Amino acid sequence: MRGACGAKLLGLAAPQAYSAAMVHVGIGYDVHALLAGRKLILGGVDIPHAKGLDGHSDADVLMHAICDAILGALGEADIGRLFPNTDPRWRNAPSRIFLNEARRLAGVRQGKIVNVDATLIAQEPKIFPHIRQMKTNIAAALEMRVEQVGLKATTNEHLGFIGREEGIAAMAVAGVDLP
């Protein structure tokens, strides 16, 4: 029982031919250690906190995870290959630049970023008061509507390095409509 005949006998719809024009999905993840003496930048928002994230750029784990998700949907290399931490140009760079480049690469491929959805994982500080501004910043960097950006935050229930407030992580998915 193969193809349309087998599907019909089983009461299933006939299999559809593959179409290259479709939404491609990518996954991104990033984590950085918390360090005294650094600003805490998440989603492009400077959040008052005793520690900030350690990294070559501004270490914005949220924007980094979203960037990797978009790059993954495009089938491109990860953020570290495009913006290596060995390149002095990216020293303390705002991660908005990385999102701008991911959007530009999607455009070069005649793609359109459909949506992004991300989760921040941090024991402290509280993220909820900053979510609206983060979504606004992400949407602006990607030239999309705020409604196309999903963002949640959770804690690690005091478990692991995140629970001990040693670091913050983010994970993201992105949908990119490609011809």
Residue 45 in domain: yes
Mean pLDDT over 11-22 rounds to 64
Residue 130 in domain: yes
Residue 15 in domain: no
pLDDT of residue 68: 97
Residue 13 in domain: no
Residue 134 has pLDDT above 60, yes or no: yes
For residue 150, give its domain range. Answer: 20-178
Residue 135 in domain: yes
Are 43 and 60 a contacting pair, CB within 8 Å?
Answer: yes
Residue 156 in domain: yes
Residues 35-70 have pLDDT tens digits of 999 999 999 999 999 999 999 999 999 999 999 999
Which helix (H) or strand (E) segment is 136 a member of?
helix 131-142
Mean pLDDT over 157-174 rounds to 97
Residue 9 has pLDDT above 80, yes or no: no
Residue 8 in domain: no
Beta strands in the chain (DSSP E): 22-36, 40-42, 45-47, 51-53, 112-121, 149-154, 167-178
Are 151 and 142 a contacting pair, CB within 8 Å?
Answer: no
Q: Total structural domains in the chain?
A: 1
Higher pLDDT, 104 or 18: 104
Residue 145 in domain: yes
> What is d(CA 157, CA 168) in angstroms, rounded to the nearest whole number?
13
Are 67 and 95 a contacting pair, CB within 8 Å?
Answer: yes
CATH number of the domain within which 157 lies: 3.30.1330.50
Token pair listed for 155:
């804690």
